[in-house]
Structure 1
Amino acid sequence: MTEFEMKLKAAGTAVARGKLSRRDFIQLALASGVTLAAAQTMFAKAARAEPKKGGLFKFGSGHGSTTDTLDPATWANGFNFQFGKSVMGAPLAQIDQKGGLVPHVAESFEPADGAKKWIIKLRKGITFHNGKSLTADDVVATINYHIGPDSKSPVKDFMNSITSIKADGPETVVVELNSPNADFPYLTTDYHLPIYPSADGKIEWEKGIGAGPYILKSYEPGVKLTAERNPNYFKDTWFDAIEMLTIADVAARTNAYLSGEVHFIDRADLKTIDMLKNAPDTEIYNQSGPTPYTAPMLCDTAPFNDVNVRLAIKHAINRQDLVDKILFGYGKPGNDNLIGQSMKYATNPEPIHSYDPDKAKSYLKKAGLENLKVDLSAPPSAAFPGALDAAQLMQSHAQAAGIEINVVREPDDGYWSNVWLKKPWSMCYWGSRPTIDMMFTTSLAADAAWNDTRWKNPRFNELLVQARGETDEAKRQAMYAEMQQLLHDDGGQLVLMFYNFVGALNTAIGHGEFNSDQDSDGGYMVERWWMA
């Protein structure tokens, strides 16, 4: 390294720490022979390299509904997903950038009795926003809220193996399961599970008081949330305050970004992505992950209760055309397996469900049909950006197979409450889960609240329990492979495509490596990012 290179490196470190001005850095760089444009770029990168406290971060979200609440058992979209991950909430554990488990409110997880018992040690000194100390009683009350007999929480589906949860002193929680679960600590990362203050065994969620990095100041569902940095948070966090805006219309969301109203938008309009690429001071947020757009069919409702009808539809849709025209290449075709290829134990079942109108017709004949007419419920953007356009493309694809799809335009607002899980065929998206067991248990277990196909395959559900407690890796792999094949061949999940998380981020915001399991840096953006 030359003397000038050493000086530039040292100068970059000083910039990152706020100890060297733009003018002085650029003068030094020019003196070392760097061009003005290169010097400016070097300064911008250096300025973003080290976290620093301060500033108001504004996020324009494509999610959120007027029917949303602060009740964690009801959270079902990407706006309130943020609440439990890192806005007001602090869960027992988090997921890191490599998909690994990181203890958070918990200090450690220790298995016992062949992973049928878990001892959770809590960090000392954590307080809630109201000043109350977080204890084991609060953890017990929080989990009991989601798994109680009257609970409607999706957490109940993947934590139904808990037979006992109790506090053993103020800093230890003991969980007993009815069967071994090697993945149990991962369950605690779910966004519905931030720890809440409790009284007499009941959690107090109504005011949005948690132990997370931000203290709630105001919340108008479907419109806006504001929060300020929690000065007593047990980890470093950077923004002084945050604003989260629901801007469901993608054109309005894009304009909000381009006008400087917000620093970051998710769900970018891929039709006009070049406009964002060419915008000043903009970084395109583009993360591929194991996250699918789907069109679930209710397997207990005619005509979808016939597997041959389901297979006909699976072959009547041109998924590559959807990737090209809806995702503009920012994704890849699905194959009726909810598990993304980057997840542990993922397989790609054969035969690939490709567009084949003749094969679709042959399945219709097996169902005793010459043709078929069905409704498909689709909102403009609530299910995913371009969902209505995708439904109309599917309508055109299916005509060649003798399938007439009547696209029913549904309103974005209230879609998850009024359409999804209720209409026989609808559009949907799934966020990833950190383990294949969580994904399957949440979305496909026979009695899961979010089983949006009502598919109840006995063999699948038998394997689901067996695989959860299997410690032999080869046997576990074989079980999950068989389950994915069953889903592909028999299930009601029409997995259209796996999408990238695409948004626009102003270069005024600094960040490290992103999570790719979920959008918005895994839901941790307001905790991890900073004002450069």
Structure 2
Amino acid sequence: MMKTSLLSGGVSRRGVLKGASAIGGAALIGPMGARMASAQPTRGGTLRVAQAHGSTTDSMDPGSWENDFTILQAHTRNNYLTEIAPDGSIVPELAESWEASSDAATWTLTIRSGVQFHSGHILTAEDVVASLRHHMGEDSTSAAAPIVAPITDMRVDGMNVVFTLASGNADFPFVLSDYHLPILPSTDGAIDPMTMDGCGPYKIEELEFGVGATYSRHDGYWKSDAAYFDAVEQIVIHDAAARQNALISGEVDYIDSADLNTVHLLQRAPGVVVLSVAGNQHYGLPMDTRAAPFSDNNIRMALKYAIDRQQLVDTILNGYGAVGNDHPIGSGQLYYNTELEQKAYDPDRARYYLAQAGVDSLDVDIHLADAAFAGAVDAGVLYSETAAAAGINLNVVREPNDGYWSNVWMQLPFCGTYWGGRPTQDLMFSTAYADGAPWNETYWSHERFNELLLAARAELNEDLRRDMYFEMQQICSDEGGALIPMFAAYVGAHSDALMHGEQVASNWRNDGHRIAERWWFA
């Protein structure tokens, strides 16, 4: 059971290379907005974080992590070989250095000595190999399987691990920062994926999925300039109003998702700072391309032109975002396709594609819950209204928040989703668009796209690589199964007693999910 502090006070609970991505600045809004950081971090206190995500079906297995509760847990408890810094660059963590061959197909990582796990186990190179091997092999069900599949060999040489890749990958250090790839202690060459052990800043005291978790500082943590809190509490509060009220009343210190419809109330609340960070987070409506009618690209294109993207940005995001173009690459990323025609609401063009599919009208269900993204159900209602003008009867089926990710996402043919994005194009495409990827949520397979994915990964010529990623974005936009109407800023809020560095990471919400390690109380 959870400690009573999680449940007291009426808190409701529900549910190498320079960075290849440009990092958006963090905007602090509110009466204390000018206080971006304290000059000198101080130690002490308990950080209480209320989160919009978390499910009773979550698991300790790192290959299964897929929502913000599990990802924040991952970074609070664990360390990784590499870390994405607040400025978007890749920096050493458990790998204190690395060196690549001239073709970027062989990488030698030197593993940090003397790192202590919560159990007292001391990090070895063998732990690194075993941790990555958990995600590899034909029988792997890990969502990280596609991004580690190119590793053909791992060899231990003292405190070095030599990786051999099937082909060159200039982004390999970024791959190793993926949140599915924590380094866990091993025994006889294997890890226990259900362990609560870790070598990160905090150790788990209690955990109940779908409810919350409590942590205490790991006194043996190797980073002297991190982990300033004595303890951390994660609390699942699906309900946006309850989450916001918990912050205003002082029952929590930080909420990771502010309700954009009522964010103005937070801006006026004394002692509260609203934090908006632009990044690669995007909201989508994936279609199962194996299932009729979505197996017909003309139907998919009709649905893409039947949605008013700007209306969703203005209404659902309250302007905290930008329109999407049915591919997952953000406008700040290095190879963002600046030449691709932006899709806009066009009911006549939608009707054209229906005619190309041989139909005059279309009846289709879309399954949504606000667990998919904040405002998903309202977005579906707005979508149904604009789609009607194109002869599309879109029936919005409201699904329960709890269990959404196990019972609806990738189970029903048309639903909602959110992605935090990835630091490189290759990681994003490999995770969610590659043929056979476990999280290819549209079950899409495109021969030319998959050819380009492999070629671009190994290409060292920047101009050729740019051309490949431009073409891949166009293929996704015009032939893919994902309708991506908007990119959303990360909008959270916190007590003005909480402080952080001058720059807040935008690779994920919650300062790259490292808030417990990087922030402190004034």
TM above 0.5, one fold?
yes
Structure 1 residue 138 and structure 2 residue 165: aligned? no
CA distance in 1, matches of 2:175, 2:287: 27
Aligned to 1:525: 515
Which of 346, 351, 360 pairs up with 2:336?
346
Structure 1 residue 488 and structure 2 residue 477: aligned? yes
Aligned to 1:312: 302
Q: TM-score, normalised by structure 2?
A: 0.92
1:390-419 Cα offsets, whole Å, 9 max, x none, are 111111110000000111111111111111
Measured after TM superposition, the shift of residue 45 of structure 1 is 4.6
- Helix, strand or coil: the match of 1:114? coil
Structure 1 residue 414 and structure 2 residue 421: aligned? no
Map 1:66-465 onto structure 2 (within 5 A).
Answer: 66-84=56-74, 86-112=75-101, 114-169=103-158, 171-235=159-223, 236=225, 237-348=227-338, 350-379=340-369, 381-465=370-454
Question: Mean alpha-carbon deviation: is it higher for 434-443 or for 107-116?
Answer: 107-116
Contact 1:48 1:509 in 2 (8 A): no
Measured after TM superposition, the shift of residue 83 of structure 1 is 2.3
Matched letter for residue 240 of structure 1 = D
Measured after TM superposition, the shift of residue 349 of structure 1 is 5.1
CA distance in 2, matches of 1:287, 1:183: 24
Q: CA RMSD in A?
A: 1.4
Structure 1 outlier segments of 4+, above 4 Å: 44-47
Measured after TM superposition, the shift of residue 148 of structure 1 is 2.8
Measured after TM superposition, the shift of residue 50 of structure 1 is 1.2
CA distance in 1, matches of 2:492, 2:328: 23
Contact 2:36 2:500 in 1 (8 A): no
Measured after TM superposition, the shift of residue 113 of structure 1 is 5.3
CA distance in 2, matches of 1:242, 1:394: 40
Figure out how many residues of one structure are paired with residues of the other and give that number.
Answer: 488
CA distance in 2, matches of 1:77, 1:298: 21
Measured after TM superposition, the shift of residue 114 of structure 1 is 1.1
Contact 1:349 1:488 in 2 (8 A): no
Contact 1:510 1:530 in 2 (8 A): yes
CA distance in 2, matches of 1:293, 1:206: 30
CA distance in 1, matches of 2:251, 2:43: 21
CA distance in 2, matches of 1:321, 1:285: 23
Aligned to 1:514: 504
1:115-138 Cα offsets, whole Å, 9 max, x none, are 111101011110111111100000
Contact 2:36 2:499 in 1 (8 A): no
Measured after TM superposition, the shift of residue 166 of structure 1 is 2.3
Q: TM-score, normalised by structure 1?
A: 0.90
CA distance in 2, matches of 1:280, 1:420: 39
Structure 1 unaligned spans of 5+? 1-40
- Helix, strand or coil: the match of 2:77? coil
CA distance in 2, matches of 1:102, 1:120: 13
Which of 471, 476, 488 pairs up with 1:499?
488
Contact 1:511 1:528 in 2 (8 A): yes
Aligned to 2:19: none
1:30-60 Cα offsets, whole Å, 9 max, x none, are xxxxxxxxxxx99x95993311111100000
CA distance in 2, matches of 1:94, 1:344: 19
Structure 2 unaligned spans of 5+? 1-30
Contact 1:82 1:191 in 2 (8 A): no
Contact 1:421 1:452 in 2 (8 A): yes
Contact 2:368 2:397 in 1 (8 A): yes
Whichever of the two has the greater Rg, that structure is: 1
Contact 2:44 2:521 in 1 (8 A): yes
- Helix, strand or coil: the match of 2:79? coil
Contact 1:49 1:510 in 2 (8 A): no
Measured after TM superposition, the shift of residue 337 of structure 1 is 1.7
CA distance in 2, matches of 1:106, 1:82: 21
Identity value in percent = 47
Contact 2:214 2:232 in 1 (8 A): yes
- Helix, strand or coil: the match of 1:242? strand
Q: Does the C-alpha gap of structure 1 residues 46 and 78 become closer, same or farther in structure 2, counting only changes over 3 Å?
A: closer
Matched letter for residue 219 of structure 2 = P
1:163-202 Cα offsets, whole Å, 9 max, x none, are 1112112x11111111111111100111111100000111
1:15-37 Cα offsets, whole Å, 9 max, x none, are xxxxxxxxxxxxxxxxxxxxxxx
- Helix, strand or coil: the match of 1:212? coil
CA distance in 2, matches of 1:350, 1:524: 34
1:373-402 Cα offsets, whole Å, 9 max, x none, are 0110101x2111111111111111100000
Greater helix content = 1
